[in-house]
Amino acid sequence: MLILGIESTCDETGVAVVEDGVKIRSNFIASSVSKLAKYGGVVPEVVARDQVKFIIPLIEEALSGIDRDKIDAIAVSYGPGLVGSLLIGVETAKTLAVAWKKPLIPVNHLKAHIYSNWLDSNSMHEIGSFESKARNSKKPQFPLVALIVSGGHTDLVLMKDHGDFKLLGSTLDDAAGEAFDKVARVLGLGFPGGPEIEQLALRFAQGKPISKKSALSLPRSMMNSNDFNFSFSGIKTAVANFVHGSQLTIHGKSVIAFEFQEAVCDVLVSKTIRAAKKFVANSIVVGGGVSANSRLREMLIEKSTTFDVNVFFPPKNLSVDNGAMIAAAAFFEKKFSDPLKTVANPLLHF
Ligand code: KG4
Ligand code: ZN
């Protein structure tokens, strides 16, 4: 089954054609990110206007060399996201479904981040822990625990089968990616902040610091709470208070970036491992922009070796928003909908 997947929830426009939920036949992404650096964050009006510019050329590129008659369905992410951006993808997908007489499959963007782990890629998914089991299982196995870490969301989800999602916990305030972006802004770094913090943290970790103990000790908020919720605003505020009014050297900034990344990853990994043990998960899957973070990958794989579970991350280019994950989720869920009744839902959740 060939599905055309369309993504337009925020500042990326993604269009892809995916076969049977796993094989990427084409995948194109355009981003407004270069325009956002000067604002230090997403400006809804700016990104929505770019969605209008990008979407038709990307659909044409994604379909070049593919017979349009062979497309079996059109999938689109209908939420959550920014309403202006969402509307462009949703209305385009509805129009194409009607004009080309194809079924429409609306997809929850958060579920699609989970399904990015089913996509084949040239670079193998990173699989951690028990090697013997990993060799037999190249796709995630149910039951699984999914950690979604993006700019707008931090969720732990239990999946017992395709389409069967149970939300275990969420952030009570900032999302993990949002905290990366805000701390980057405090340190005077660019947007998006995640990759910038990661690079700076690496500089500290690889350098020759006098001691790995720094003056900055950040809280691991809610790490030991008796639930699967998260909170990142305390860690972010602790950094802001520490930095307040000081002239930081590049070394000082890299120490803060390192300590911040350690604190966020510690909390994410510890709660994910606890959920995987409690629900006897066969796999842990991670999705969303923050899943590109190498320290998060390293720490989760390391901590999962003590029990029988496989860890999956999408290849880094599929961690961020893309159309391929939308097509993958649509294939496994197959929740068709009448194009004339389909509407964007900015507040959609599980
Ligand atoms: O999933 P995504 O592309 O968009 C949303 O749905 O929000 O995630 C974007 C977020 C941003 O907050 C960005 O700073 C973060 O993912 N991010 C990272 C890294 N790459 C992107 N955070 C930490 N480390 C990274 N390498
Ligand atoms: Zn996303």
Same domain, 11 and 36: yes
pLDDT in tens, 263-275: 999 999 999 999 9
HEC per residue, 50-107: HHHHHHHHHHHHHHCCCCHHHCCEEEEEEECCCHHHHHHHHHHHHHHHHHCCCCEEEE
- What CATH number does residue 185 fall under? 3.30.420.40
Structural contact between residues 321 and 51, judged by C-beta atoms closer than 8 angstroms:
no
Both 30 and 166 in one domain: the answer is: no
Binding pocket residue ranges, ligand 1, CB within 6 Å: 10, 150-152, 177, 180-181, 192-195, 198, 288-290, 292-293, 320-321
Mean pLDDT within 209-217: 63
Residue 139 falls inside a structural domain:
no
Q: What is the mean pLDDT of the chain?
A: 92
Residues 154 and 109 reside in one and the same domain: no
Q: Flag whether 278 is in a domain.
A: yes
Q: Give the number of domains in the chain.
A: 2
> Do residues 219 and 205 lie in contact, with contact meaning Cβ atoms separated by under 8 Å?
no
Is 242 among the domain residues?
yes
User: pTM here?
Assistant: 0.93
Does any domain span residue 98? yes
pLDDT band at 260 (very low <50, low <70, confident <90, very high): very high
Residue to probe by mutation, ligand 1, list 171, 196, 290, 300, most atoms within 8 Å of CB: 290
**Same domain assignment for residues 192 and 331:** no
Is 249 inside a domain boundary?
yes
Residues 9 and 119 in one domain: yes
pLDDT tens for each residue of 294-303: 999 999 999 9
Could you tell me if 95 and 48 lie in one domain? yes
Say yes or no: 105 and 205 in one domain.
Answer: no
Query: Domain containing 173: what range?
Result: 144-313
Does residue 136 lie within any of the structural domains? no
